[in-house]
Amino acid sequence: MVRGLLNNLATKSIKVAGKWQQQQLRRLNIHEYQGAELMSKYGINVPKGVAVSSVEEVRKAIQTTFPNEKELVVKSQILAGGRGLGTFTSGLQGGVHIVNIDLAEEIAGKMLGQTLVTKQTGPQGKVVSKVYLCEKVSLVNEMYFAITLDRTTAGPLIIACREGGTSIEDLAEKFPDMIIKVPIDVFKGITDEDAAKVVDGLAPKVADRDASIEQVKKLYNLFRECDCTQLEINPIAETSDNKLVAADAKLNFDDNAAFRQKEIFALRDPTQEDPREVAAAKADLNYIGLDGEIGCMVNGAGLAMATMDIIKLHGGTPANFLDVGGNASEGQVVEAFKILTSDDKVKAILVNIFGGIMKCDVIASGIVNAAKQVALKVPVVVRLEGTNVDQGKRILKESGMTLITAEDLDDAAEKAVKALK
């Protein structure tokens, strides 16, 4: 329940009408190895590790970074949780392995370049481009720690549990009293009393209490100073040398803070993101990729959502959420069409424009120019209404394009669904 809520902040895989729909919200997600490096800069205890992208780099890392280690933890790096219980399409079970040092190269080689499927990736999985090699730390106790943003308290909320390393959702359902929540006053910041409550909730057995309180404060400082939307450590663990260590971490950052977090946002891995969304971001379009069959281009988020709903009402499935906004240029409209037509699953396109600030003639010119640059092989349904609607309709008519026109939104959605057949 708790972890599921946190994960939904970053990525959602939902099943609609028997089909997986991948929805990614625009909050920067970084790899585990990048998060570990960032936490280390803030004085947070993390296991020694190094990220590699080839078998040759594995061999070099063992010689230079782990010359005296007998065992290593080999972790596949994808932007999704559930790696340990995931399965590679090649048949290899598990995206996290503890192995003898002489087997690390072999296991890493079986992960690199392969697709890992977990509960959070959907059935399509994600390609592993990097593997994180970590020292095997002797853990004596595993706990759960997270910081997220809470609407109820309008500020950061620290969540802790004395059990960790396993499904926090199951623990929260079976033993809700084990989950403690400590809201932080965003103006005062974290106090010693707040941090002490969190440590008491973690209930460490061997780690020094004062040192643990300092670690909690450092984690909060990272969350605040780096504009995080989520910081989750599962497990946060105690080691045999009585330290509190972040053994695994997931961090997300607010995209609205990209202008002041340039170093962090330079860590973005576009290969792990939907390529359609990457292209849309470059064109400054509001786009979320789904897995339906009807591509949508709409102006205004509310109208876009209504368009998707009515497509569903008529038995279709939307391929995307695409809001071109109120001041899109003709070039942005062309880019939007390129994105829609690049999706092989799109079997029809529905353009629904209600011209207020956005002018219908600009949309129409964009559609015509897009048709010149992209071979339109699917039916296009167009509904235009509002500012300069007559000019827009004239541009489309004089273009000679084969379009399906609609009088209103309901008519447009019905025609788009029928065009699939």
- Choose the catalytic residue: 33, 105, 132, 144: 144
Contact 197, 209 (CB under 8 A): no
Q: Is 356 annotated as a binding residue?
A: yes
User: Does 144 qualify as catalytic in the annotation?
Assistant: yes
Q: What share of the chain is helix, strand, coil (3-state, %, to 5)?
A: 35, 30, 35
Q: Are strands 348-355 and 294-298 parallel, antiparallel or unpaired?
A: parallel
What digits encode the pLDDT tens for the residues 111-140? 999 999 998 888 889 999 999 999 999 999
**Per-residue model confidence (pLDDT) at position 212:** 96
**Per-residue model confidence (pLDDT) at position 91:** 95
Q: Is 352 annotated as a binding residue?
A: no
User: Does 232 qualify as catalytic in the annotation?
Assistant: yes
Query: Domain 274-419 is in which class?
Result: alpha beta
Query: The tokens of 137 are what?
Result: 């730390």
Distance CA 374, CA 339 (A): 10
**Per-residue model confidence (pLDDT) at position 354:** 85
**Per-residue model confidence (pLDDT) at position 356:** 75
Strand 49-52: give its sheet, edge to edge: 49-52, 130-135, 71-77, 96-100
**Per-residue model confidence (pLDDT) at position 402:** 84
Query: Token match 């009515």: residue?
Result: 310
What pTM was computed for the model? 0.75
Domain ranges of the chain: 48-136, 139-266, 274-419
The alpha carbon dihedral of 334, 338, 341, 345 has a sign of negative
Question: What CATH code would you report for 48-136?
Answer: 3.30.1490.20
* Segments in the chain below pLDDT 50: 1-25
Query: Mind spelling out the 3-state secondary structure of 338-382?
Result: HHHHCCCCCCEEEEEEEECCCCHHHHHHHHHHHHHHCCCCCCEEE
Q: Is 151 annotated as a binding residue?
A: no
Q: Is 262 annotated as a binding residue?
A: no
Q: Is 248 annotated as a binding residue?
A: yes
| 139-266 under CATH 3.90.420.10, yes or no | no
- Choose the catalytic residue: 32, 232, 273, 293: 232
Q: Is 142 annotated as a binding residue?
A: yes
Distance CA 376, CA 62 (A): 52
